[in-house]
């Protein structure tokens, strides 16, 4: 593909090795009635410091945290008082094991007024990402009537219809690969990174049926061995593989590299990539123009008002899901119901606000504790990875909206229960107290009629339930706070609701701490630094090439290479570049 290949750098010739004198590592120089659940800059209040146990207690509004409630009757009452129920979704939120006080809640209700107003303005189309001058419209994707302009509503609706129609035609065999013995597409290879991969991966793991019409694989890195492995696993089914390339610009290096590698595999197999390629990208991007000129099978839009980490309800997540037989309209419906539930300005009746409030309490509003996500369901294994990007890329910011240095953020990690009770629960209960936990519980173990007793009155799922509740109790008994989110079963509707719940919680928390949740300057800085390394590598190659062309070959020391690159200050990086190449 000519328009992209100019961005590709070839490996050095083996003959260049003669130009480098043998390298040695550089020397170092001397850090009681209830349902039973199993932008305009917002007005900002100064952070509320909550724990007198912190080393920094210089704030005037320090509020000492009380001991957690241990009396069983008082705990039961607190559970009933604070249990949130969304009956249409079968979703419950229990914050009773977080030790916030009535005084704290009263203070936060005032703070949330500004957060609710900022969210209302965002949904109406205000510039909620001021650093990039953009609207933030991922909520419109599941309710197009919210979009501020008719053209946007039409675009959202037409794109959804096109996704459903295309997926139906692929699954039915109406759209088929040109040279596959199977006579239809059997595999999906998704090429993307960050939000273009994590969302689709989570949805596939959570919702894909046991025998989907098309199985999905992901190339989500620029690791050659990883790419080779995915292509090798396809084997002869490469001829029946639909390749979906996801990149807003088309110039994201990792995605571009994956595309070039896949295209080479197609050429080597004598296949026509264009007849099996699909682009999801912004209109008139490099990728869009390439797909149009080369006649790819289909193109679907990405929008500048939807960030990567909130794009799972766009074509980015919906197309791969639909091709796997997942009901994407149900996923959108679940998200829309949750969006409506989280618009209320009643703190106690807004589950996203309750989450944001608990995060603020647990981390002192400055990220002082980590968020550990523990889903007790194998199909939700990737939820913690998905939330890691959603939360950390949104909230991890150096500056607030007023330009003050704040270094905000919440660290997120996790895996699944009960597996990780045998990994890091020991430290969570008895080690350093630098976290709060979130348990994700699923009530239905198996489809109705499929459970059986391992022993009298006890199923395999009962053990999982016991492990969750036991771990929650053991942590709380030792002063460890936790949140519990319960859903009845893992369905497209409940997964859509979970995604929407956390998207809104992140937006509200960002308003509480006065940061822009919708840009990622740190990521861009990393990309810029990587580009500088590659540019330096080209200069190193040029110097070595010139030396290798002399007769005899001119040997060069590391210092001499750095001088000829006009970068003596980059000698360590030049050493690493040469070590990598040779």
Domain co-membership, 96 together with 244:
no
Flag whether 25 is in a domain: no
Rounded to 5 degrees, φ, ψ at 55 are: -65, -30
Domain co-membership, 189 together with 219:
yes
Q: Pick the last residue of a domain from 326, 353, 373.
A: 326
pLDDT at residue 251 in the model: 83
Asked if the bond preceding 418 is cis, omega within 30° of 0, the reply is yes
Q: Pick the last residue of a domain from 305, 326, 347.
A: 326
Token match 């489809």: residue?
447
Domain co-membership, 364 together with 471:
yes
Domain co-membership, 222 together with 243:
yes
For residues 446 and 458, give the distance between their C-alpha atoms in angstroms, rounded to a whole number: 14
Element (H, E) at 113: helix 102-123
Domain co-membership, 487 together with 342:
yes
Strands (E), 118-176: none
Flag whether 2 is in a domain: no
CA proximity to 502, closest of 301, 313, 281, 322: 313
Domain co-membership, 313 together with 339:
no
Domain co-membership, 540 together with 464:
no
Domain co-membership, 387 together with 366:
yes
Active centre residues (catalytic): 393, 422, 527
Please write the tens of the pLDDT for every residue from 48-85: 544 433 334 333 344 468 899 999 999 999 999 999 99
Arithmetic mean of pLDDT over the chain: 91
Flag whether 35 is in a domain: no
Burial of 281 (0-12, 13-18, 19+ CB in 10 A): buried
Flag whether 19 is in a domain: no
Written in H, E and C, the secondary structure of 494-520 is: HHHHHHHHHHHHHHHHHHHCCCCCCCC
Q: Pick the last residue of a domain from 307, 326, 345.
A: 326
Which residues form the domain of 425? 72-126+331-446+453-515
pLDDT at residue 249 in the model: 83
Report the number of distinct structural domains present in the chain: 3
For residues 113 and 501, give the distance between their C-alpha atoms in angstroms, rounded to a whole number: 19
Domain co-membership, 538 together with 491:
no
Taking the complete model, does pTM exceed 0.75, yes or no?
yes
Intervals of the chain under pLDDT 50: 1-11, 14, 24-36, 38-45, 49-63
Domain co-membership, 568 together with 471:
no
Domain co-membership, 421 together with 549:
no
pLDDT at residue 23 in the model: 53
Token match 């959108």: residue?
332
């Amino acid at each position: 593909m000519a328009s992209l290949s100019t961005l590709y750098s070839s490996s050095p010739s083996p003959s260049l090795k003669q130009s480098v004198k043998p390298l040695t590592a550089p020397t170092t120089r001397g850090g009681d009635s209830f349902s039973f659940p199993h932008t305009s800059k917002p007005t900002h209040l100064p952070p509320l410091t909550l724990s007198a146990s912190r080393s920094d207690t210089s704030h005037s509004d320090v509020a000492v945290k009380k001991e957690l409630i241990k009396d069983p009757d008082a705990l039961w009452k607190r559970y009933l008082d604070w249990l949130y129920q969304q009956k249409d979704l079968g979703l419950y939120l229990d914050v009773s094991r977080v030790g916030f006080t009535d005084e704290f809640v009263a203070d936060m209700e005032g703070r949330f007024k500004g957060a609710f107003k900022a969210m209302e303005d965002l949904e109406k189309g205000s510039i909620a990402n001021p650093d990039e001058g953009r609207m933030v419209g991922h909520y419109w994707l599941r309710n197009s009537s919210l979009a501020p302009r008719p053209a946007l509503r039409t675009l959202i609706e037409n794109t959804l219809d096109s996704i459903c129609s295309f997926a139906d035609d692929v699954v039915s065999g109406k759209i088929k690969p040109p040279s596959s013995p199977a006579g239809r597409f059997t595999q999906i290879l998704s090429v993307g990174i960050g939000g273009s991969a994590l969302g689709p991966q989570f949805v596939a793991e959570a919702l894909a049926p046991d025998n989907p019409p098309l199985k999905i694989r992901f190339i989500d890195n620029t690791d050659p061995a990883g790419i080779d492995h995915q292509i090798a696993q396809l084997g002869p089914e490469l001829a029946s593989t639909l390749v979906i390339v996801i990149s807003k610009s088309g110039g994201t290096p990792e995605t571009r590299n994956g595309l070039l590698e896949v295209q080479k595999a197609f050429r080597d197999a004598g296949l026509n990539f264009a007849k099996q390629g699909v682009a999801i990208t912004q209109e008139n991007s490099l990728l869009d123009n390439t797909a149009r000129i080369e006649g790819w099978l289909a193109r679907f839009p990405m929008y500048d008002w939807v960030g990567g980490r909130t794009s799972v309800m766009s074509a980015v997540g919906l197309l791969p899901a639909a091709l796997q037989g997942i009901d994407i309209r149900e996923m959108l419906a679940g998200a829309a119901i949750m969006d409506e539930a989280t618009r209320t300005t009643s703190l106690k009746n807004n589950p996203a606000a309750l989450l944001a409030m608990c995060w603020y309490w647990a981390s002192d509003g400055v990220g002082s504790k980590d968020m550990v996500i523990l889903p007790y369901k194998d199909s939700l294994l990737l939820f913690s990875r998905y939330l890691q990007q959603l939360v950390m890329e949104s909230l991890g910011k150096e500056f607030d909206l007023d330009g003050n240095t704040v270094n905000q953020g919440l660290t997120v990690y996790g895996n699944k229960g009960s597996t990780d009770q045998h990994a890091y629960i020991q430290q969570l209960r008895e080690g350093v107290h630098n976290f709060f936990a979130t348990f994700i519980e699923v009530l239905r173990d198996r489809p109705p009629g499929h459970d059986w007793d391992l022993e009298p009155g006890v199923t395999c799922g009962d053990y999982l339930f016991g492990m969750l509740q036991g771990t929650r109790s053991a942590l709380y008994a030792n002063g460890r706070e936790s949140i519990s989110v319960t859903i009845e079963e893992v369905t497209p509707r409940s997964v859509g609701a979970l995604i929407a719940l956390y998207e809104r919680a992140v937006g509200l928390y960002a308003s509480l701490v006065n940061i822009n949740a919708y840009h990622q300057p740190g990521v861009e800085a990393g990309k810029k630094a990587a580009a500088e390394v590659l540019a330096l590598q080209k200069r190193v190659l040029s110097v070595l090439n010139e030396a290798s062309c002399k007769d005899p070959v001119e040997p060069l020391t590391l210092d001499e290479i750095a001088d000829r690159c006009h970068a003596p200050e980059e000698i360590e990086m030049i050493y690493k570049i040469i070590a990598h190449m040779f």
